[in-house]
Amino acid sequence: MTKELMHFIGGKAVKGQSGRFLDVYNPNTGEVSARTPLASADEVRAAIASAEKAFPDWAAVNPQRRARVMFEFKRLVEANMNELAEMLSNEHGKVVADSKGDVQRGLEVIEFACGIPHLLKGEFTEGAGPGIDMYSMRQPLGVCAGITPFNFPAMIPMWMFGVAIACGNTFVCKPSEKDPSVPLRLAELMMEAGAPEGVLNVVNGDKEAVDTLLTDPGIEAVSFVGSSAIAEYIYATAAAHGKRVQAMGGAKNHAIIMPDADMDRVVDDLIGAGYGSAGERCMAISVAVPVGEETADRLVEKLVPRVQSLKVGLSTDPDADYGPLVTAQHREKVKACIDLGVKEGAELLVDGRDFSMQGYENGFFLGGSLFDKVTPDMSMYKEEIFGPVLQIVRAKDFEEAAALPTKHQYGNGVAIFTRDGDAARSFASQVQVGMVGINVPIPVPLAYHSFGGWKRSAFGDTNQHGPEGVRFYTKVKTVTSRWPTGVKEGSSFVIPTMK
Ligand code: NAD
């Protein structure tokens, strides 16, 4: 019998009632490991109602006590790290060490959330006028929703609910239907940590569930991470229904390689950032841009044997560089992009399409591929591939190289490899991309900074976690109070000024 996953509503696991399901796979074997219930609009409304009921009391809990729940949640997640990482690896396909990294990067946001009381303090001006004090405070919004992608099933839900809940909101998470077990387990741990029932709910589902979250008047804010077309739809629909929205989208992250870069280091970094987690990272490097033909030739010479010797293996194999892709469908999409690149005339230096894992022929494995002489007019360059495929675009000089990420429709991450501080500094200042690495291939900001791309990589104006996350999940109220002394004054018909 295939295991049936549940929803998590009002502090307990709840069986799906819609009669609609989607299969969850073990990508190593290709077998169905469970089925996800797809919530009806009514089931989603039940989760919203449970969060609405929990909100007034949770918002009234003092910030330090809420932070103590976060401290305990952190302890519990750490104590269950191995179980969570294995669960994640078996549904997503990333290797266990990388799965622990997924949980750990989420936990770092929980660590940040433990200190959120400090950021909720607001501002105060004493004596803003005669007998007048003015103060502002940050108050929680109400029920917030998070809609998350398959590729970081631990980290991205924690980015969202960690900050939202610590700020006094209650939350409904709609995780990816491809790997929902970890978010469900995290909700259980949040209850065990002391969050009252209804503070964190998880509903599984597809478009019907998402559309309910985007339109229901009970939801105040929507945080989304996923592909750009859906991010744009989420942004437009939720905003049209009067909600706050942050919607992160897809990416095409470039690495500029200057002639003076340390090439061995660059190749190490490109291998990790291009092929780690089978390239299924929104901050993966998918385009390498060597500056000058000589740099390009040196890069190719060193990169080809490294891509050829990548160790693709079971996600449970500690020696594997990366595991299978998330689904057969996604692997076919990536293969089709490689076919297209060949058709468009790029040079396929390493072809991973025929890779098959002995004994696991039904697993969703794909070898690493490397393209050279890719040009910006090719659709393979314009679109996100989200697989173990690295493309080399040769640039004649720094200006041509630097213009590529700036002109690209996506603007999530970018890196420059150089020993020249001046080139690095002007690149970081000019490039139209939200997160920049200088000799750092995957510049994911730490939890106490904020994460977000530009252009079609993010819709809305506040980033995830860090101070921007606190701004997203709170609204400012400003109070002006006057306690006049002496006789009661008459009415004033002129707007008060501070002349
Ligand atoms: P996806 O857009 O297919 O799905 C994301 C979420 O949206 C899921 O919960 C899914 O159920 C829901 N969804 C899918 N189709 C929908 C529809 N038609 N209407 C309403 N909801 C819908 O993304 P994915 O394949 O799970 O994740 C990979 C994508 O996410 C890549 O494009 C990657 O770059 C991006 N991503 C971006 C970031 C970032 O911070 N910018 C981080 C991680 C992943």
List, for residues 446-488, the tens digit of each pLDDT value: 999 999 999 999 999 999 999 999 999 999 999 999 987 765 6
Note whether 162 and 451 are within 8 A (CB).
no
Which atom of ligand 1 approaches the CA of 282 most closely? 34
Confidence of residue 489 (pLDDT cuts 50, 70, 90): low
Distance from Cα 176 to the centre of ligand 1, integer Å: 8
* Overall average pLDDT of the 416-440 stretch: 98
Residue ID of nearest Cα to ligand 1 atom 19: 207
Provide the token pair at 162. Answer: 């960690």
Q: In the predicted model, what is the mean pLDDT of the chain?
A: 97
From the CA of 381, how far away is ligand 1's center (Å)?
A: 20
* pLDDT (mean) for 236-262: 98
458 C-alpha to center of ligand 1: Å?
Answer: 12
Helices (H), 2-154: 41-60, 63-79, 81-92, 96-114
Cβ 413 vs Cβ 453: under 8 Å: yes
Which pLDDT does position 1 carry in this prediction?
76
State the pairing for strand pair 253-257/285-290.
parallel
pLDDT band at 493 (very low <50, low <70, confident <90, very high): confident
Atom 26, ligand 1: residue with shortest CA distance: 149
ipTM surpasses 0.95: yes
Give CA–CA dist 142/43, Å, rounded: 19
Q: What percentage of the chain carries pLDDT values higher than 70?
A: 99
CB 160 within 8 A of CB 223: yes
Q: Is 135 exposed, middle or buried, given 0-12, 13-18 or 19+ CB atoms closer than 10 A? A: middle
Q: Are 255 and 270 in contact (CB under 8 A)?
A: yes
Is residue 86 within 8 A of residue 318, CB to CB? The reply is no
Could you tell me which CATH class the domain 3-249+457-479 is placed in?
alpha beta
pLDDT for the residue 69: 98
Closest atom of ligand 1 to 457 CA is 41
Q: Are 238 and 400 a contacting pair, CB within 8 Å?
A: no
Name the residue at shortest CA distance from atom 23 of ligand 1. 226
Block residue for tokens 């010797």: 309
**Residues 258-312: pLDDT tens digits?**
999 999 999 999 999 999 999 999 999 999 999 999 999 999 999 999 999 999 9
| Nearest partner of 212 among 176, 232, 248, 238, judged by Cα | 238
Say what angle helices 181-192 and 63-79 make with each other, to 10 degrees.
130
Residue 224: phi and psi, rounded to 5, are -130, 145
Single-letter residue type at 78? E
State the distance from the centre of ligand 1 to the C-alpha of 179, rounded, in angstroms. 12
Helices (H), 312-410: 328-344, 379-382, 398-407
Give CA–CA dist 353/23, Å, rounded: 25
Find residue 222's DSSP bridge partners: 145, 245
Task: Map residue 467 onto helix, strand or coil.
Answer: helix
Active-site position among 144, 173, 282, 337: 282
Residue 345: which region, alpha, beta or left (left: phi > 0; alpha: psi -120 to 50)? left
- Asked if residues 203 and 209 have their Cβ atoms less than 8 Å apart, the reply is yes
pLDDT at 362: 97
Taking CA atoms only, the protein residue closest to ligand 1 atom 34 is 250
Report the pocket of ligand 1 as residue ranges, CB < 6 Å: 147-152, 174, 176-177, 206-207, 210, 225-227, 230, 248-251, 282, 384, 386, 412, 453, 457
Distance 191 CA to ligand 1 centre (A): 27
For β-strands 244-248 and 458-459, DSSP reports them as antiparallel
Instruction: Give the tens place of pLDDT for each residue, 136-180.
Output: 999 999 999 999 999 999 999 999 999 999 999 999 999 999 999
Q: Which ligand 1 atom is nearest residue 234's CA?
A: 20
Distance 67 CA to ligand 1 centre (A): 30
- Residue 240 CB partners (closer than 8 Å, separation 6+): none
Laid out side by side, the sheet with 3-4 consists of 3-4, 31-37, 21-26
Cα angle 292-296-300, degrees, rounded to a multiple of 5: 175
| Domain boundaries, given as residue ranges, for the chain | 3-249+457-479, 253-438
In the annotation, is 114 catalytic? Answer: no
Cβ atoms of 39 and 180 closer than 8 Å:
no
If you measure from the C-alpha of residue 211 to the centroid of ligand 1, how many angstroms do you get, rounded to a whole number?
14
| Contact status, residue 69 vs residue 171, Cβ threshold 8 Å | no
Looking at the predicted structure, is the pLDDT value of residue 125 above 80?
Answer: yes
Protein residue closest via CA to atom 1 of ligand 1? 226
Which atom of ligand 1 is nearest the CA belonging to 150? 26
Atom 28 of ligand 1: nearest residue by CA position: 226
Q: Which two tokens stand for residue 454?
A: 């530009």
Nearest residue to 463 (alpha-carbon basis) of 395, 392, 406, 413? 413
pLDDT value at position 8?
98
Q: Which atom of ligand 1 is nearest to the CA of 453?
A: 41
Among 152, 172, 176, residue to substitute to test ligand 1 (most atoms within 8 Å of Cβ): 176
d(CA 136, CA 412) in angstroms, rounded, equals 33
Residue 148 CA: which ligand 1 atom is closest? 9
Q: Which atom of ligand 1 is nearest to the CA of 226?
A: 30
Among 77, 45, 14, 55, residue whose Cα is nearest residue 171: 55
Q: Whose CA is nearest to atom 43 of ligand 1?
A: 282
Separation between Cα atoms, residue 171 and residue 356, nearest integer Å: 42
Task: Supply the DSSP string of 437-450, one letter for each residue.
Answer: EES-SS-PPPTTS-
Between the CA of 165 and the centroid of ligand 1 the distance, in Å, is 23
- CA dist 352 and 70 (Å) reads 43
Residue pointed to by tokens 């609609």: 20
Question: Rounded to the nearest whole angstrom, what is the distance from the C-alpha of residue 411 to the centroid of ligand 1?
Answer: 16
For residue 414, give the nearest of 426, 401, 405 by alpha carbon.
Answer: 405
Cα 151 to Cα 179: distance, rounded to the nearest angstrom: 9
Residue nearest to atom 22 of ligand 1 (CA): 207
Chain centroid to CA 15: 28
Q: Residue 90, CB half-sphere, CA atoms under 13 Å: how many? A: 12
Determine the Cα–Cα distance for residues 78 and 299; give it in Å rounded to an integer.
Answer: 40
For a substitution probing ligand 1, which of 109, 215, 225, 465 has the most ligand atoms within 8 Å of its CB? 225
Strand duo 410-411 + 454-455: pairing? antiparallel
Report CA 172 to chain centroid distance, whole Å.
Answer: 17
- CATH of segment(s) 253-438: 3.40.309.10
pLDDT digit string, tens, across residues 79-112: 999 999 999 999 999 999 999 999 999 999 999 9
Q: Residue 47 in contact with residue 205, Cβ under 8 Å?
A: no
